[in-house]
C-alpha cells in the first residue's frame, strides 16, 4: 500500500467501526484527522482480514457503532470464536529521544460473534472464564508502547543495528520478541499484507521519567524495565530457567539520561535481573517459605551454560553474576549450587560474585551496602555505559559489560542493589557530560538524589506487583536512603499479603498470563475440566477442609453457648467453661487434627495453575 511504504511508524489512533458483519479500523491522528487512504477490514464471520482502499470502498456508516481507540492489542481465539482487543484509553508518559511514550490505562475485548446462542452452557462458562482471565492480565497495568520508537530494544542495540535495511522493516518485525507481550495477539494481523502499521508492539514492565536541574543544566532521567515473555509468570510457579536457558522473572532495565546543549546527548546503562540460572523449583505449600528443590538428574551445568550463551548472543561483553542469597538456611541450597556450577563452567566472560545481603545488612545496618559497591567499583568503571554522541559515531561509547543481579525472588534485595549500581554509573555519565563537577556525586545533589530514589523505588514496586502481587519490600531504603521502622512494618503487611496471594490466587494469575501470551491455546472442542474443579470436593482433601471449617464453627458455637448460659444463669464463668469443656475440647482437637493434615499436604490445597503444566 502506498502510505505503508512511506513510514514504518504505527498509526497513532483509529476510528473503530463495529458493524454486525464486520469491523473497520480507520487510521487517524490523535486529533481525529484521517491518517491514511486505507483501512483494515475484519469479517466477523469468516475471520478474514484485508486492507481496503477507502477511495474505492468507503466504510459503511449505517448500522455501525463508532468508537475512538488508541491502538490494537491484537486478536485471540476464545470459546465463542475470535475476539478483538483494543486500547480505549492511554496516558502520555513523556518523550524519550523525542519519541512519545504511552501507558495503557483501559482496554476492551470485543467478540466477533455478537451472541453466545451457538454455545452450550459449559462453553458459555468457559468463554466467560477465559475473557475474565484476559481482563485480569490487562488490569495488572504496566503495559507501555510508542508508535515511533522501538522501546523493546536498548539504545545501544538500536545504534549497533542502525543499518538502512533494518529500518525498512515493520516496527513489530524489528522489535525484540523477548519483550513484546502482545506478539501472540498480533500473529493474525501481522500476516495481512500492508497491515504493518496496525501492529503495535507493547512491552510489560515499568517506564518512569523525571526532569531535574543540576548545576544550572536540565537533564531528563528515564528508567525502562522490560519483562521477558519467556518463562513469564508469578512468584513460586516460575523459578529458575527453562530448557532453552530463559530465566523466570527476567527483566532488562535501562537507565537513560538525555541532555540538550542544544545538541542532544544521550547515555544509557543497562542491567539485568533474573531467577537463579539453574533448574530448580519452589512450589507453594501453605508454608511461609517453601523449601527450594532441585532434581539430582537435572543437568545444571548445561542449563547454566545455555543461559549465559544466550546472554552473550544478545548483549556481548562481560557479565558479572551478583548473587545476593543467604549463605545459610533454605536459600543456601540453590545459592551454593550456583556458585559451584559457575566455578565448574569457568566461562571466560562470566564472573560470579557472592554478597550475603541479609548477613551484611542485618539489624538495619544498610550502610553496609557500600561494601558491595566497593567490591564492584572497578567493574562499574570498566563496563562503562552507552553514549550516543551528537557529533559522530566515532565519539560514541558502548557498554562493555553487564551486571546480572539476583536474590531468590529478584525483587527486593535485587532492586536495592540495582539502584546502587545505577547511581554509580549515573555519577560517571553526568561527569562525562560536564553536568557534575569532577568531585561531585549524584548523592551530593539533593533534588537529583531524591528524584533518582523515587524513580527506582517506583520501578521496584511495579516489578514486584507484576511478579509477587505486592509492592517491593525494603522500598523505604530505595526511596528514602535509609531503613525505617514504618518501612519494616509495611514490609510485614506486604509479606502477609504475598503469602495469601501466592498460596490462594497465583494459580489463576499464572493461567491468565499463559492464556494471554499464547502458552495455552483455547480449543472449544477440548476444554480443560480442571478449571471447574473446586477445593470443596468430596475427596479426602475436600472433606478435611470441610471438617476443619465445621470443627472451627462448633468450637466457636460452644464458647458462645457458654456465654449465653453465663448471662442467663448468673453462674461463674469457670463453672460454665467446665460444663462446656468436653465439647469445646473435642471440636478443638478435631480442628487441629484437620489443620495438621491440611498443612502436611499443603501442595494439594493451594491454588495451582490448571491450563499448562510446567
pLDDT at 183: 97
Query: Looking at 177-181, 217-221, 325-329, 474-478, which range is the least confident one?
Result: 474-478
- pLDDT at residue number 1: 38
pLDDT digits 0-9 by tens, 143-159: 999 999 999 999 999 99
At 447-475, the pLDDT tens digits run: 999 999 999 999 999 999 999 988 888 77
The radius of gyration computed from the CA coordinates of the chain, to the nearest angstrom, equals 28
For residue 230, report the phi and psi dihedrals to the nearest 5 degrees.
Answer: -80, 130
Specify the pLDDT at position 578: 52
pLDDT of residue 85: 98
Q: Identify which of 263-272, 361-370, 483-492, 541-550 has the greatest average pLDDT.
A: 263-272
Higher pLDDT, 242 or 570: 242
Give the pLDDT band (50/70/90) at residue 4.
Answer: very low
Q: Which tops the pLDDT comparison, 119 or 480?
A: 119
CB 233 within 8 A of CB 242: no
Q: Going by C-beta distance under 8 Å and a sequence separation of 6 or more, which residues neighbour residue 319?
A: 308, 311, 312, 349, 350, 351, 401, 402, 403, 404
| Whole-number percent of the chain with pLDDT over 90 | 70
Work out the pLDDT band at 431, boundaries 50, 70, 90: very high
Give the model confidence (pLDDT) of 67-124 as tens digits.
999 999 999 999 999 999 999 999 999 999 999 999 999 999 999 998 888 899 999 9
Considering the chain, what is the average pLDDT of its residues?
Answer: 91
Helix or strand run (H / E) with residue 586? helix 573-600
In what side-by-side order are the strands of the sheet with 65-69? Answer: 49-53, 38-43, 22-28, 13-18, 65-69
**Do 432 and 387 meet the contact criterion of CB atoms below 8 Å apart?**
yes
pLDDT tens sequence across 284-306: 999 888 999 999 999 999 999 99
Amino acid at each position: 500500500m502506498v502510505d505503508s511504504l512511506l513510514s514504518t511508524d504505527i498509526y497513532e489512533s483509529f476510528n473503530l467501526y463495529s458493524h454486525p458483519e464486520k469491523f473497520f479500523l480507520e487510521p487517524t491522528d490523535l486529533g481525529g484527522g484521517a491518517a491514511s487512504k486505507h483501512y483494515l477490514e475484519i469479517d466477523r464471520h469468516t475471520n478474514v482480514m484485508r486492507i481496503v482502499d477507502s477511495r474505492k470502498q468507503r466504510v459503511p456508516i449505517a448500522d455501525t457503532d463508532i468508537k475512538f481507540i488508541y491502538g490494537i492489542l491484537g486478536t485471540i481465539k476464545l470459546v465463542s470464536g475470535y475476539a478483538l482487543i483494543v486500547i480505549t484509553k492511554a496516558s502520555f508518559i513523556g518523550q524519550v529521544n523525542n519519541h512519545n511514550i504511552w501507558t495503557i490505562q483501559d482496554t476492551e475485548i470485543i467478540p466477533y460473534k455478537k451472541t453466545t446462542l451457538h454455545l452450550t452452557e459449559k462453553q458459555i462458562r468457559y468463554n466467560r472464564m477465559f475473557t475474565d482471565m484476559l481482563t485480569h492480565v490487562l488490569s495488572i497495568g504496566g503495559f507501555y508502547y510508542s508508535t515511533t520508537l522501538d522501546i523493546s530494544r536498548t539504545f545501544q542495540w538500536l545504534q549497533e543495528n542502525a543499518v538502512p535495511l533494518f529500518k525498512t522493516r515493520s516496527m513489530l518485525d524489528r522489535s525484540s520478541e523477548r519483550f513484546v507481550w502482545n506478539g501472540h495477539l498480533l500473529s493474525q494481523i501481522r500476516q495481512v499484507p500492508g497491515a504493518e502499521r496496525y501492529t503495535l508492539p507493547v512491552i510489560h514492565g515499568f517506564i518512569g521519567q523525571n526532569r531535574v536541574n543540576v548545576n544550572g543544566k536540565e537533564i531528563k532521567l528515564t528508567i525502562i524495565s522490560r519483562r521477558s515473555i519467556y518463562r513469564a509468570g508469578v512468584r513460586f510457579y516460575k523459578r529458575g530457567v527453562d530448557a532453552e536457558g530463559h530465566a523466570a522473572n527476567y527483566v532488562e532495565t535501562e537507565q537513560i539520561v538525555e541532555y540538550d546543549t542544544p545538541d542532544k546527548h544521550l547515555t544509557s546503562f543497562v542491567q539485568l535481573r533474573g531467577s537463579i540460572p539453574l533448574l530448580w523449583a519452589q512450589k507453594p505449600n501453605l508454608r511461609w517459605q517453601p523449601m527450594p528443590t532441585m532434581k539430582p538428574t537435572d543437568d545444571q551445568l548445561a542449563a547454566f551454560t545455555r543461559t549465559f550463551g544466550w546472554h552473550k548472543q544478545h548483549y556481548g561483553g562481560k557479565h558479572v553474576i551478583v548473587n545476593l542469597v543467604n549463605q545459610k538456611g533454605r536459600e543456601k541450597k540453590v545459592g551454593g549450587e550456583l556458585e559451584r556450577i559457575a566455578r565448574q563452567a569457568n566461562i571466560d566472560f562470566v564472573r560470579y560474585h557472592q554478597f550475603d545481603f541479609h548477613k551484611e545488612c542485618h539489624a538495619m545496618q544498610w550502610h553496609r551496602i557500600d561494601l558491595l559497591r566497593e567490591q564492584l567499583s572497578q567493574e562499574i568503571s570498566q563496563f562503562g555505559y552507552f553514549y550516543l554522541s551528537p557529533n559522530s559515531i566515532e565519539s560514541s561509547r558502548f557498554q562493555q559489560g553487564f551486571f546480572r543481579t539476583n536474590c531468590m525472588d529478584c525483587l527486593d534485595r535485587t532492586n536495592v542493589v540495582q539502584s546502587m549500581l545505577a547511581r554509580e554509573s549515573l555519577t560517571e555519565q553526568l561527569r562525562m557530560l560536564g553536568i557534575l563537577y569532577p568531585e561531585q556525586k549524584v548523592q551530593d545533589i539533593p533534588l537529583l538524589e531524591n528524584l533518582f530514589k523515587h524513580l527506582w523505588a517506583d520501578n521496584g514496586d511495579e516489578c514486584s506487583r507484576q511478579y509477587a502481587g505486592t509492592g517491593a519490600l525494603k522500598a523505604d531504603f530505595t526511596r528514602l536512603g535509609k531503613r525505617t521502622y514504618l518501612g519494616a512494618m509495611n514490609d510485614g503487611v506486604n509479606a502477609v499479603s504475598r503469602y495469601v496471594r501466592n498460596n490462594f490466587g497465583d494459580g489463576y494469575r499464572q493461567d491468565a498470563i499463559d492464556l494471554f501470551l499464547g502458552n495455552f491455546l483455547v480449543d472449544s472442542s477440548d476444554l480443560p475440566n480442571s478449571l471447574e474443579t473446586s477445593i470443596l470436593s468430596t475427596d479426602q482433601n475436600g472433606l478435611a477442609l470441610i471438617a476443619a471449617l465445621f470443627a472451627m464453627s462448633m468450637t466457636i458455637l460452644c464458647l458462645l453457648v457458654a456465654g449465653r448460659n453465663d448471662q442467663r444463669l448468673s453462674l461463674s464463668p469457670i463453672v460454665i467453661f467446665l460444663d462446656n469443656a468436653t465439647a469445646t475440647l473435642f471440636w478443638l482437637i478435631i480442628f487441629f487434627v484437620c489443620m495438621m493434615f491440611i498443612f502436611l499436604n499443603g501442595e494439594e490445597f493451594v491454588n495451582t495453575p490448571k491450563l499448562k503444566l510446567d
